[in-house]
């Protein structure tokens, strides 16, 4: 008779039980609300502070503004006090850059030349930004027939070369040459670029949810445009205006170089460059100093524009 099979009982296997996670889903998904909210401008400033290019450009711009505002802090010499006996004189004590053909102190004229150039650049940039931003904002926000009309007007002015238009107008009204006249001419023909950039920025912002919410609660259209759309569309406008300031300084120097810009009694880098070109081979330093001040000023605003553009561009900040 066969014996029944005997099955041995297998030893019990230990089961591993993971410890209970004490961090609940509520804590994981919680949003920190005690910190101050960040904005585009605060993030841009945080990015700018870490860029050496920004600090170099800011230092140069502050220096040029100080030269334009209080030139007496940098020189006690009258730039209009000229003596022919000092014609092409070498540098000496109190006159580190020497003298030009008329015996004028080159250092004093380079210092005082910042006032006219920076003033024209700042006021022309303000005028162009205000006019261009107004036209571009109205065209981009309201659209329709207003956008079509303003767009055609912008195309007409955009097709006119700025330098050529300024030369023609300043030649016709040569007897009215002044700082105000130069600013008006540059503003009249320099706004189309700002207008196009503003129009595109406004069109990209006006379909956002906060604009729709503002319209839904019955806010006036102009209030929505000024309070909600323009602050969020200001980044490309600021970048373009910063770079344009340097361009307008160059345009003022170009007009003064051609004898069509500021009056002869106003000290200008462009006018000094025009006078110094005759002695380029014999006394190149007479041309070098006003041209160097002009180049440093324009370069500072261009570098500032590049730094601000990179700071306000989210893609650039993530690189």
pLDDT above 90 covers what percent of the chain? 34
Could you tell me the CATH superfamily of domain 98-317? MetI-like (1.10.3720.10)
pLDDT band at 314 (very low <50, low <70, confident <90, very high): low
Mean pLDDT, to the nearest integer, of 259-267? 86
Ranking 1-10, 64-73, 136-145, 269-278 by mean pLDDT, the lowest is 1-10
Note the pLDDT of residue 190. Answer: 92
Determine the Cα–Cα distance for residues 169 and 191; give it in Å rounded to an integer. Answer: 16
Tens-place pLDDT, residues 137-196: 999 888 889 989 999 999 999 999 999 999 999 999 888 888 899 999 999 999 999 999
Domains of the chain by residue range? 98-317
Q: What is the pTM of this model?
A: 0.80
Tens-place pLDDT, residues 194-250: 999 999 999 888 888 888 888 888 888 888 888 888 888 888 899 899 888 989 999
Produce one character per residue of 153-172: b if its CB has 16 or more CB atoms within 10 Å, e if not: ebeebeeeebeebbbebbee
Determine the Cα–Cα distance for residues 223 and 132; give it in Å rounded to an integer. Answer: 19
Provide the angle, in degrees to the nearest 10, between the axes of the packed helices 234-257 and 269-276: 40
In the chain, how long is the greatest CA-to-CA distance?
Answer: 144
């Amino acid at each position: 008779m066969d014996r029944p099979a005997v099955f041995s009982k297998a030893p019990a296997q230990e089961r591993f039980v993971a410890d209970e996670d004490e961090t609940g889903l509520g804590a994981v998904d919680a949003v920190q609300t005690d910190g101050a909210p960040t904005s585009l401008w605060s993030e841009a400033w945080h990015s700018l502070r870490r860029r050496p290019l920004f600090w170099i450009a800011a230092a140069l711009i502050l220096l040029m503004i100080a030269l334009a505002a209080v030139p007496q802090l940098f020189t006690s010499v009258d730039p209009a006090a000229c003596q022919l006996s000092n014609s092409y004189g070498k540098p000496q004590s109190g006159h580190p850059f020497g003298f030009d053909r008329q015996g004028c102190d080159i250092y004093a004229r380079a210092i005082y030349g910042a006032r006219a150039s920076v003033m024209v650049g700042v006021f022309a940039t303000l005028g162009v930004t205000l006019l261009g931003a107004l036209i571009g904002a109205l065209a981009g926000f309201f659209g329709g027939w207003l956008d079509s009309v303003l767009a055609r007007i912008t195309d007409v002015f955009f097709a006119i070369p700025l330098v050529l238009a300024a030369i023609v107008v300043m030649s016709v009204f040569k007897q009215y040459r002044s700082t105000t006249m130069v600013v008006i001419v540059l503003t009249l023909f320099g706004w189309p670029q700002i207008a196009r950039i503003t129009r595109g920025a406004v069109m990209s912002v006006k379909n956002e949810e906060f604009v729709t919410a503002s319209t839904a609660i019955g806010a006036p259209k102009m209030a929505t445009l000024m309070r909600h759309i323009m602050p969020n569309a200001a980044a490309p406008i600021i970048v373009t205006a910063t770079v344009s300031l340097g361009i307008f300084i160059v345009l003022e120097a170009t007009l003064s170089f051609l004898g069509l810009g500021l009056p002869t009694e106003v000290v200008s880098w462009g006018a000094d460059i025009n006078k110094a070109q005759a002695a380029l081979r014999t006394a190149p330093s007479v041309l070098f100093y006003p041209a160097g001040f002009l180049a440093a000023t324009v370069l500072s605003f261009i570098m500032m524009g590049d730094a601000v553009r990179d700071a306000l561009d989210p893609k650039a900040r993530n690189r």
